Chain A
Amino acid sequence: MAMGMDAAGGLGKDIIGAAVSRIDGPLKTTGTAHYTADFHFASMAHAVPVQSTIASGRIKRIDLSVAEKMPGVLLVLHYGNMDRLYRVVPNDFSATTSEARPPFEDERIYHWGQFVALVVGETLEQATAAARAVTVEYETKAASLKPSLSDYQGKRKSVSKRGEVDKAFSNAAVKIDQNYITPVETHNPIEMHATVAQWEGDKVTLYETSQGVWNHRLAMAQVLGLPRENVQVITKFLGSGFGGKLFPWPHSALAAVAARRIQRPVKLSLSRKMMFTNVGHRPRCEQQIKIGATAEGKLVALRQDYLNHTSFIDDIDEGCGEATPYLYSVPNLEVTSALVQRNTGTPSPMRGPGAVPGLFAMESAMDELAIALKIDPVELRLRNEPVKDEGTGQEFSSRHLKECLETGKQKFGWEKRTAAVGSMRRDGKILGWGMAAASWGAYRFGASATVELCADGRVCVRSATQDVGTGTYTVLAQVMHEKTGVPFDRIDVIIGDTNLPEGAMSGGSWATASALPAISGAAANAIKTLMQMAVSTSGSAFLDKDPATLELSQGRVHVSGQSPSTGIPFEDVVKLARLSGITGEGKTIPTSDDPKAKDLSLHSYAAQFVEVEWEPEIARLRVSRVVTVVDVGRIINLKAATNQILGAVVMGIGMGLLEQTNYEQRTGQPINGNMADYLMATCADSPRIDVTFLNHPDLALNEYGARGVGEIGLAGVAPAITAAVYHATGVRVRQIPVRIEDLLKSDVREA
């Protein structure tokens, strides 16, 4: 993509960390960015899935007699006439699908809304009409739909263990023992999932809504039984994903098969309703937390036993114990997990999987413990700061949770807090102040990239990563500018296509950390070759100079220490050498293979401070202020990073107060499966949010010291809200979202 000129394009090295507007912004605001569903091809047909109306059982008969004769219908696929599809190796991260079961593998039904047929028609309207005319006869089995998981009696897996937790807990001076419940949440990115499939001979191109084009290609090659080089996956722009678009879902294979069968391009775009059933969700989690402490507030025991629901097809462990073993110092600890099967679609990672629900439970319990101990909740956290990761025994690469807490405390004005419930007021409203600590893992995965210094004066960076909407295009352009000094309007960031060198997935907040070493290394290698050419090409002003004495800045090759104006444009060197361009390659090695990183505990940290306003007279509670202090290493783009945190905090308000997918108990249908009934925070629900980045580089991740900002902003928001709700209302909500029903129990009244 070519870049619009930006003031920041002239910042040189200072561009790292600057608040740079996104280079793809103009395309998006003018509606000219091509999202996946915007791809149209001559003779393209449209596919519409038919969904199961039962939650459990099998298909007895599919009646197509009406549908097949309807105008424009080209094909109806179902388990009886489906092409052979294959599974991928389970738990093999080199090629992952969201669901183990390929679509239409058999006649069995595992959840309401499961795809049971696919109608392909000339137009979307014709396919939609015919899809409605498909009648399916089922043999229904009793479905397991109960939201509550608490009657689970089966085995539990020990996830982390040290000391003797049960003994320490029973001997503890002060104890908290509570259950915390987080609901099913649906991702709901604004862009719905879509696939446009186009075959040429035995090669298929899939235009996808994918957070990981590289994995998507490998997975679809296996599912379709094709050599990987025959599958190309393209994702130019994403309207976000929140984890729901990490791995392929069944519709991708359906579109590919349909297009192969009719030998025409096929577009399959999911409806909003299908977003609630066919592309994952955050599963319901029920967590029992036991915390024991001394009277002085030193933790002695911490036990977390969590359950999460999963589907009957896949075992998806939410991983609620992600942050538990290392967040605080506690000698005796155990985390256990178990899965409970339900007739729902397969869950999938959703922004901060595991840690976000896990921290809701643990940080809520910490707040309850602080109250029981009569210790300030910030102080309680500070008293339990560990010196190393007690879960793994590793040193922390860079941990500044204490500074997050202290900075947040000061910015929020926490010292003015009075501890008694309902004791703080403003403008006739009761205020509640709550806080929580948070963390999220930091990762770096393998990636590669090329950087080309072109004879036409452009700089092209290439990598098969993708921009979820977070700013990856811009971050890559910033690094290119930093390395070359070439302005943005001569930098091309080419991503989102598996024809490019293997790039990192955009998930787990690791896309930036993973991309940086590869692109920076590629740039360095390209520049090295450029200098070689500058000193070795006859006619060059730098002939026979030591390349180490040359430098590239402001797009010009010059003698180090001298002004760039004394040198020549880099493209003159390229042209002089009669080259079309000079390419350098770069690679990122994953942290797990890096001797400098693999023995360190790599995490980001945050402190969340929340104020709520409570009007008992009308049972109205709103979040009125949030202060969030984030330790995510060095910031590459202040604007993009701030946007990530702002969005995550707003999502946290939704998690704390609004979001929840409700399954109709008789049918298994998500009964609020649309954007009017599934409540998310609106702009009017978004308060003042004060974001601070500590900006301490974590050099274990990359030369810049950047970790990742996508998820940490959500972690800890919900428990800070429920702590504030308790402070204002006296109602302790252990099952979110906090509802008016809960708040009506408050006996705090207006002054």
Chain B
Amino acid sequence: MQSFTYEKAGSVEKAAGSSGKFIAGGTTLVDLMKMGVEAPTALVDISGLPLGQIETLPNGGLMIGAMVRNSDVANHATVAAHYAVLSEALLSGASPQLRNMATTGGNLLQRTRCPYFRDPSAGGCNKRMPGSGCSAIEGHHRMMAVLGTSDKCIATHPSDMCVALTALEAVIHIQGTGSNGNGGKRTVAIGDFYKLPGDTPHVENSLEPGELITHVELPPPAKGGKQVYVKLRDRASYEFALSSAAVVAVVEGGHIKSIRVAMGGVGTRPWRSHEAEAALVGKAANAVTFRAAAEAALKGAKPLPENGFKVELAKRCVARALKMATA
């Protein structure tokens, strides 16, 4: 392991602009450092920053501090009652021990589980070392994405939480260095936060160097809405999604009034499916509609030999989540 310095961040403002790497729960970062994938020369520990609260906003929404642990978000009374999809998504991920360490900010920035990315001895990887090729395309790619891939990278964004946040249209609050006239503060809608791999799979999101995520804001929950998270995987626990779906639905008189659909385990970023939503709004909530929406969601899928099954699996996953959210 490469030597590095370690300091505790003094304040949000001072932390922003730091040239070091932020460490929150460390459950992604420390692993990657041990494996030689990340080699920061300086660590800035943000766990002491006052970002550990969940607050209700005047508009009825929720402001979740970046340092709030995944288990605390999942078990928060308001989250469990009004943002069930988030609570369910978090509880379906990792293990209790990991969730007790993992933070909201860290979860947003967790890295892919592609084995070629995570092990420098496993061959080329454009995400780990730009220009070194993508070993997964011709190698083992059962877990990889079928949506949003490029010929440079097919890795999934592995988070469950972010799929729920996508369906909830969360907004990410960021603290930068202050040159933007707003004290360095800015916000990005989660739908605009993650980038497709394209030719630059190492650029995963729109965070600038030194920028600190401070909060995640949840808009007020839809009135009369129902929220569901469905996660499909090989074993019953402690595995990333092969396919997951987060649905927030409002049904009136048997017809779908409004709907948001996001998918995990199949996309190179937390995957919002406007196609599925378009196929659902105004329609009768029944199996035929659900299947049609699921087909629409996977229309652009580009499967490879090992992950072709994910296309059908994701369809069933979306259809099941729709059925549950509209029941």
Contacts and interface: CB of A to CB of B under 8 A. Distances in A.
Interface string B186-226: 00000000000000000000000000000000000000000
A747 interface: no
Given A662-B140, A744-B313, A669 B122 contact: yes
Interface string B306-326: 000100110011011000000
A329 B139 CA distance: 46
A658 B1 contact: no
B237 to A, nearest CB: 4
B313 A671 contact: no
A617 B319 contact: yes
Contacts of B40: none
Interface residues of A, number: 33
A142 interface: no
A229 interface: no
A672 B5 CA distance: 32
Interface stretch (A170-178, A497-505, A543-551, A682-690): A682-690
B115 interface: yes
B234 A657 contact: yes
B288 interface: no
Nearest to A273: B119
Interface in A660-698: 662, 664-667, 669, 671-672, 676-677, 679, 681-685
Contact of A129 (B1, B122, B123, B312): B1
A672 B236 contact: no
Given A665-B139, A740-B242, A618 B316 contact: yes
Contacts of A541: none
Contacts of B313: 619, 740, 744
B235 A671 contact: no
Given A664-B139, A740-B309, A619 B236 contact: no
B6 interface: no
Interface string B108-147: 0000010110010111000000000001001110000000
A interface, over-half SS: loop
B238 A618 contact: no
Given A619-B313, A744-B313, A739 B1 contact: no
Contacts of B9: none
Interface in A734-751: 739-741, 744
Contacts of A53: 121
Contact of B115 (A51, A666, A671, A741): A671
Given A676-B113, A744-B313, A667 B234 contact: no
Nearest to A615: B320
B232 interface: yes
A425 interface: no
Contacts of B320: 617-618
Contacts of B236: 622, 682, 684-685
B237 A683 contact: yes
Contacts of B309: 740-741, 744
B interface, over-half SS: loop
A664 B123 CA distance: 10
B239 A671 contact: no
A664 B234 contact: no
A128 B119 CA distance: 15
A666 B133 CA distance: 14
Contacts of B234: 657-658, 679, 739-740
B36 interface: yes
B230 interface: yes
Contact of B235 (A662, A666, A684): A684
Interface string B232-252: 101111110010000000000
Contacts of B122: 664, 667, 669, 671
A128 B242 contact: no
B136 to A, nearest CB: 10
Interface in A510-555: none
Contacts of B237: 682-685
A618 B232 contact: yes
A664 B140 contact: yes
21 contacts: A51-B121, A53-B121, A617-B316, A617-B319, A618-B230, A618-B232, A618-B317, A619-B312, A662-B140, A665-B139, A666-B135, A666-B138, A669-B119, A669-B121, A671-B139, A676-B113, A676-B238, A683-B237, A739-B234, A740-B313, A744-B313
Interface of A: 51, 53, 125, 128-129, 132, 617-620, 622, 657-658, 662, 664-667, 669, 671-672, 676-677, 679, 681-685, 739-741, 744
3 closest Cβ pairs, A-B complex: A684-B236, A684-B237, A741-B309
Given A664-B122, A671-B115, A671-B140, 4 more contacts: A617-B319, A618-B320, A676-B113, A684-B237
